[in-house]
Amino acid sequence: MIAELGLAMLWMAAALAVLQLVAGALALRPATAHLAGVVRPVAMLQGLLVACAFAALIWLFLNTDLSVKLVAENSHSAKPFIFKLAGTWGNHEGSMLMWVTIMSMAGGFVALIEKRLREETLIATLAGQAFVSLGFYAFLLLASNPFTRLPEPAPEGAGLNPLLQDIGLAFHPPTLYVGYVGLSIAFSFAVGALVTRDVGPAFARAMRPWVLGAWIFLTLGITAGSYWAYYTLGWGGWWFWDPVENASLMPWLAATALLHSCSVLAARNALRTWTVMLGVIAFSMSMVGTFLVRSGILTSVHAFAVDPTRGSFILALLAIYIGGALLLFALRASTVTEGARFAVVSRESALVFNNVMLCGILGIVLVGTLYPLLTEAMGVKVSVGPPYFNPVSAVFAIPMMLVMAVGPVLRWREDKGGRITWQIAVPAAVMAAALLAVELLFAPINLLPALGLAIAPGLAVASLQPLVGRNLRRTPLATYGMVIGHLGIAVALFGMASEGAFSTERLAAMNPGDSQQVGPFKVTLQDIGPVAGPNWTALEATVAASYAGGAATVLHPQARVFANPPGNRTESALLTRWNGQLYAVLGEEGEDGRWQMRFWWKPFVPMIWYGGALVALGGLLALMGRVARDVKRLVATDKIAWRRERQGR
């Protein structure tokens, strides 16, 4: 009953999306302009219906309704509650429903609150949003219905893949989806603005909170995903430039660029074409990423069978939406004048530089990810990996970070280098001193980590400079957001460089009682024994680790075995100190009865993720600042309107 109800609500929501699109499109013509009043309520109702459909699917998963095919294939009655919940979106159909849900709810929310934009542009935006949603409704209803019943209820569910039975991965995909979908709103705004030729500061201000929100979630998603890969894959790596990682990085890079060009457009009415372009690109990258992951087009050797129909469907959506938007862009961009100019030394040009460099990185990530596909089409296999991505992206990232150090203290429109001599000199001095210290104390270090260790402290100092000489209580929240965001980049950079420069690895075959030295740690394997979890069993090692002769801390790395469905997973154990992390992995038992243990000491490695979290926090502060200001303005205009209405009577 619940399943049928869910499906019915999904169909109704799809029908409302059609209505929203048609009414929105007609409302743009003078003859049928009266239809505009329909669009907002329909958008809200559509969001509500699809949210109910998603709630129905969650209910089915929580109750393990085994007569539903999706539940039977992906859940199991003996699974912990949290993974029953996460199982809802831990599969193709459920994740697509989640995608549509977030997308339609966001659309409904725009319809509810957005008041600054010209009504016409907003209607075009909502019509665009309905158009995008429709593709995903079609995908769901025609090719991946989550509510299909089985002819006979299954006796028991097949369970959730062990890799997915992890709290990190349970919430990683939804985080990224929220980010992707937030960018779809930005995309719709860009399309709406192109349709009505209405690209200006109001458009940028309306779009900015959505971009910020999306960007916060993408930042969190990538940070959490990186940490998840770090502790689950069991080899201490935190970023591999794997196609799937790149697929999540590309939208982030585009959104970061968009965020910055939005501020230029909002504040100075410049970079109009460029911002609209980025609005389209950012969502394109989300869809390209989804396509690359779901179609399996880039998976490698001895691959599993890939389902080409899903890939085809996403590709068709991609071609329609992105191709259509880019065509619209090409036709309309020449009517969107580019806006105000600025001097070479100005905040705008620093932001433009940042944009160009971010797009440069985006470009090489895209090219590097797709290049193997290109050569394969010509019959040659190549691999493009970290030895390409690291140095080539650094070519763009290093100048970008140097400009980032001074950009925030520059004035809009026009500035003089002489005015900010001190603000340039202090970070430069810090960088030079750090570089000297690194070279003298720790040589030999590879070039990139050394540069990272030098730039990070300078950038950290520079990121705080916009606060110098200001009344800290009257500084806007958005400024704090920027400061903390930039500081987060410096912190993450320091973590990355330190990990690259100072990690120590220790592989050892050990008997219980044996000890090893890992960097400053002395680790002793004390015992190995079996343990049982809710739906797994494991071999667990007891490892005592003492830092520089201090008291010992006990670690428990595990090798877990799952039964439903069968699978293995290593569970590494981490010991976090303020100055780094000890990483312990239990390997296999050798023929001589000794255990293969792997240890790493990674100085300051958690700063990578602390930095990521700081960046997201900065985004959150900026968002709060912007929204609070918008709400204030909204209340004020409402008051004026109300007074006018009363006076009119």
Q: Which of residues 321-360 bind another protein (CB under 8 A)?
A: 322-323, 326-327, 329-330, 333-335, 337-345, 349, 352, 356, 359-360
Give the one residue of 37, 80, 308, 550 binding another protein; rule: CB under 8 A: 308
Q: Are 190 and 261 in contact (CB under 8 A)?
A: no
Give the one residue of 41, 296, 476, 512 binding another protein; rule: CB under 8 A: 296
Nearer to another protein, 55 or 370 (CB): 370
CA distance 157 to 140: 22
Nearer to another protein, 144 or 226 (CB): 226
The one-letter amino acid code at 472 reads L
- Beta carbon of residue 354, minimum distance to another protein (angstroms, whole number): 12
> Which 595-634 positions form the footprint of another protein (CB under 8 A)?
596, 598
Give the one residue of 32, 77, 312, 517 binding another protein; rule: CB under 8 A: 312
Nearer to another protein, 269 or 526 (CB): 269
- Beta carbon of residue 327, minimum distance to another protein (angstroms, whole number): 6
How many residues would you count in the chain?
649
Is residue 392 involved in binding another protein (CB under 8 A)? yes
> Which 441-460 positions form the footprint of another protein (CB under 8 A)?
none
CA distance 577 to 602: 10
List 601's β-bridge partners, or say none.
504, 582
- Beta carbon of residue 595, minimum distance to another protein (angstroms, whole number): 11
CA distance 569 to 545: 23
- Beta carbon of residue 161, minimum distance to another protein (angstroms, whole number): 5
Closest CA to 237 of 247, 224, 228: 228
Nearer to another protein, 364 or 431 (CB): 364
Range in contact with another protein (rule: CB under 8 A) among 41-49, 100-108, 273-281, 603-611: 273-281
Range in contact with another protein (rule: CB under 8 A) among 37-45, 119-127, 311-319, 429-437: 311-319
Cα-Cα-Cα-Cα dihedral of 351, 355, 356, 360, to 10°?
Answer: 150
Give the one residue of 267, 505, 561, 629 binding another protein; rule: CB under 8 A: 505
Range in contact with another protein (rule: CB under 8 A) among 12-20, 84-92, 256-264, 464-472: 84-92
> Which 13-32 positions form the footprint of another protein (CB under 8 A)?
none
Count the alpha carbons within 13 Å of 17 in the hemisphere toward its beta carbon.
Answer: 27
Per DSSP, the residues of 541-593 read EEEEEEETT--EEEE--EEEEETTTTEEEEE-EEEEETTEEEEEEEEEEPTTS
- Beta carbon of residue 95, minimum distance to another protein (angstroms, whole number): 10
- Beta carbon of residue 480, minimum distance to another protein (angstroms, whole number): 30
> Which 562-591 positions form the footprint of another protein (CB under 8 A)?
565-567, 587-588, 590-591
Write the interaction track for another protein spanning residues 154-183; mark x where CB under 8 A is met and - where it is not: ----x--x-xx----x--xx----------
SS (H, E, C) 240-256: CCCHHHHHHHHHHHHHH
- Give how many residues touch another protein by CB under 8 A: 117
> Which 211-230 positions form the footprint of another protein (CB under 8 A)?
222, 225-226, 228-229
CA distance 362 to 339: 25
Per DSSP, the residues of 480-512 read HHHHHHHHHHHHHHHHHHHHHHH-EEEEEEE-T
Question: What does the block give as tokens for 570?
Answer: 């290593």
Is residue 514 involved in binding another protein (CB under 8 A)? no
Nearer to another protein, 121 or 165 (CB): 165
- Beta carbon of residue 414, minimum distance to another protein (angstroms, whole number): 6
Nearer to another protein, 80 or 386 (CB): 386
Give the one residue of 77, 113, 115, 307 binding another protein; rule: CB under 8 A: 307
Is residue 61 involved in binding another protein (CB under 8 A)? no
Category of 52 on φ-ψ map: left (φ > 0), alpha (ψ -120 to 50) or beta: alpha
Question: What does the block give as tokens for 255?
Answer: 């959104």
Per DSSP, the residues of 627-641 read HHHHHHHHHHHHHHH
Radius of gyration in angstroms for the set of CA atoms belonging to the chain, rounded to a whole number: 27
Nearer to another protein, 222 or 459 (CB): 222
- Beta carbon of residue 574, minimum distance to another protein (angstroms, whole number): 16
Cα 552 to Cα 60, 575, 604: the distances in Å are 47, 11, 20
- Beta carbon of residue 635, minimum distance to another protein (angstroms, whole number): 29
Closest CA to 127 of 200, 48, 36, 52: 36
Give the one residue of 187, 291, 480, 502 binding another protein; rule: CB under 8 A: 291
Q: Are 554 and 542 in contact (CB under 8 A)?
A: yes
Q: How far is CA 534 from the centre of its chain?
A: 31
Nearer to another protein, 397 or 617 (CB): 397
